[in-house]
Amino acid sequence: MNKYPKSAYVHIPFCHRRCFYCDFAVIPLGNKVETLQGYGSKTVREYLNFLYKEILSIKHKSPLSTIYVGGGTPSILDPKQIKELIDLFKENYGIDYGAEITMEVDPASFNQDDLYGFINAGINRFSLGVQSFNNQILQKSGRRHLREDAEKACLWLKKVYDSGQIKSWSLDLIQNLPLSGFKEWHEDLKKTMTFSPPHLSIYDLNIENGTVFKKLENLGKLKLPCDEEAFMNSELTHLILKTSGYSRYEISNYCLPGHQSRHNRVYWSGLGWWSFGQGSTSSPWGEKLTRPRVSKEYKEWVNRQYELNLDSSLINNDFVYKELDEKIMLGLRLKEGIDINELFKEQNWEIKKFESNFIKLLKGWERFLQSELLVRRGNRFFLSDPKGMELSNQILISMFKWWDEIN
């Protein structure tokens, strides 16, 4: 592991409105926000001041090889504000030559001029939150954009990518949204393929507490694809993307050769990262720290960090704190899986304990190995694609039970 993290995530919490499935730390500002001057600009400027203060509070820095600006909806910000953010890292941390600098964008929150402005600010990879190209599905999910907004945004990104102005771009879809049966999902995938995005993130819908979808579910008013339809959707995703040249390198992520998200691999590979902003989680040396999700509490926390002392998790103590179960969980998300022997060695167990725990884990995984949801090659274990990746929760639950028992 690097002495200091080489990756940074920055959370921009502002949205026009909260989507019906979203439980992130966001601040809805309405449709008429102007972040430089006008409605909502004071709120945005105040947040950015505290965000910059937090970024500057870190004492031990090294040049960054990945930066990810997420949200929320970062594309609500003006390109000048994005440039200010990137320049802050450049001047105070340094940015490696060839660094991957990603920004999330929403189809209804930027235009073509903004896109060129973000590129001039230093962004070289974009992640476009389309979720669906079907207007009825978008409306039922609380999305602000329409099909035509998404199509325009895809064409703009394809153009700047094809002309070499950015390194890559990603398109996000959500599988099994309300009204998204087999036919609708097939149409979404076919439309997606017409833009040839180098990277695709396809997430299964999760119903989170506190969301509009959760309230509708509790009232019995949330109609989602049945289990059979959901399975057919997953099978179709695998078939279309595989025949279109995409590799599934992580449970929810697909790419053409050479377009894996370098930043996201940092999380899945258990490497350290900085994180800045309301509600975000950092893990520079293994131990995680989540900032307050509420604005007032976040600002108070930043002042304490800047003026008094840094949280212990942000100070380099030359040790890595990450539980084995989390390492296994993160590693199994990746196509290449885990070398269980290497992970066990890091625990410094005596030989008898090592062997005993390994046998217990294998016993818990026996049925998954027999059904080929899980595959073993020597000491390396990985999920089969697509079946194992679709049913990974069963394997992980078994592993978490094992971890509880041996502890």
**pLDDT tens readout for residues 133-171:** 999 999 999 999 999 999 999 999 999 999 999 999 999
User: Using one digit for the tens of pLDDT, what is the confidence trace for 73-126?
Assistant: 999 999 999 999 999 999 999 999 999 999 999 999 999 999 999 999 999 999
Residue 1 has pLDDT above 60, yes or no: no
- 357 in helix, strand or coil? helix
The length of the chain is 407
| Angle (CA) 366 337 274, round 5° | 130
Residue 64 CB-density burial (10 A; 0-12 exposed, 13-18 middle, 19+ buried): buried
Q: What is the mean pLDDT of residues 20-31?
A: 92
- pLDDT value at position 268? 86
Cβ–Cβ under 8 Å, residues 231 and 176: no
Cβ–Cβ under 8 Å, residues 282 and 289: yes
The per-residue pLDDT of the chain, averaged, comes to 93
- pLDDT value at position 36? 86
**In whole angstroms, what is the distance from residue 269 CA to residue 327 CA?**
8
User: Using one digit for the tens of pLDDT, what is the confidence trace for 180-225?
Assistant: 999 999 999 999 999 999 999 999 999 999 999 999 999 999 999 9
pLDDT interval class at 66 (50, 70, 90): very high
Residue 337 has pLDDT above 50, yes or no: yes
User: Using one digit for the tens of pLDDT, what is the confidence trace for 295-335?
Assistant: 999 999 999 988 877 887 788 765 555 688 988 999 999 99
Q: What is the mean pLDDT of residues 250-264?
A: 96
Which domains can be identified in the chain, with CATH numbers? 7-268 (3.20.20.70), 324-406 (1.10.10)
Dihedrals φ, ψ of 40, to 5°? 85, -10
Residue 2 has pLDDT above 50, yes or no: no
Q: What is the mean pLDDT of residues 268-282?
A: 91
**In whole angstroms, what is the distance from residue 221 CA to residue 223 CA?**
6
pTM: 0.93
Percent of the chain whose predicted confidence (pLDDT) is above 70: 98
Helix (H) or strand (E) holding 112: helix 112-121
Cβ–Cβ under 8 Å, residues 200 and 183: no
| Angle (CA) 24 109 80, round 5° | 95
pLDDT interval class at 60 (50, 70, 90): confident
Neighbours of 91 (CB within 10 A): 9
